[in-house]
Amino acid sequence: MKRRRKTVGQALVEFALTATIIFLLLSAAVDLGLIFFTLQALRAAAQEGATYGSYPVVVTNSSGQVTAVRLNYEEIYRRIRTAGGTQPVGVANLMDLNNDGVNDQLQLSLIFDKNNPTNPNGFVIIENPKGSNPANLSGTCATTTPRVDMRNAGQNCWIRVTIRYRYRLFFPFAPVLGREIILRVTHTMPIRSQFVG
């Protein structure tokens, strides 16, 4: 009889130890899967914004002469937000990138600054760098001088869209990681100017 009690107690201890490890692995698998799907949604949104931005807006005067070529930052931002539709669905809510439960349109200066779209503290960063190597881009493309940069196809002018997203862990399985992590996705495309000004 005493031997049987020891066996039951031992089985409970073994179950408690293994169940903890199994639950830890299961929660890690769930969170990694959700992070993967979130990154896919962010990648699609960054690609949508960069694709739209790769065709810049042409500004003409009354005689039809091109006076400037520029990016429509507000429309690029709108395309990013609505890449997954106008209603938030799925694991990544593109309408609430800082994941605080408030629609980003109500706190736009925290998310995207249309007067300073390259603000590194924003959750949407739109840059217009130049260079021949996409891995080493710098500077900004000029937009008003005829036959220069965005006014001339082939001048190595790019659009780079970066989206940051505050992901709250479903199961905070490691106190080292905290309760949330910042996911970041960047997509770069060449500007597709088809005119020289």
Q: What is the pLDDT of residue 190?
A: 86
Q: What is the pLDDT of residue 3?
A: 57
**Which pLDDT band holds residue 165 (cuts at 50, 70, 90)?**
very high
| Cα distances (angstroms) measured from residue 5 to each of 9, 15, 85, 190 | 6, 15, 60, 73
Task: Summarize pLDDT for 23-57 with one digit per residue, the tens.
Answer: 888 888 888 899 999 999 999 999 999 999 988 88
Distance between CA atoms of residues 169 and 184, nearest Å: 15
Among 3-12, 110-119, 132-141, 151-160, the least confident range: 3-12
C-beta separation of 60 from 67 below 8 A: yes
What residue ranges do the domains of the chain occupy? 35-190
- Percentage, residues of the chain above pLDDT 70: 82
Task: Summarize pLDDT for 85-121 with one digit per residue, the tens.
Answer: 877 667 788 988 988 888 888 888 888 888 888 888 8
**DSSP 3-state assignment of 190?**
strand
C-beta separation of 56 from 193 below 8 A: yes
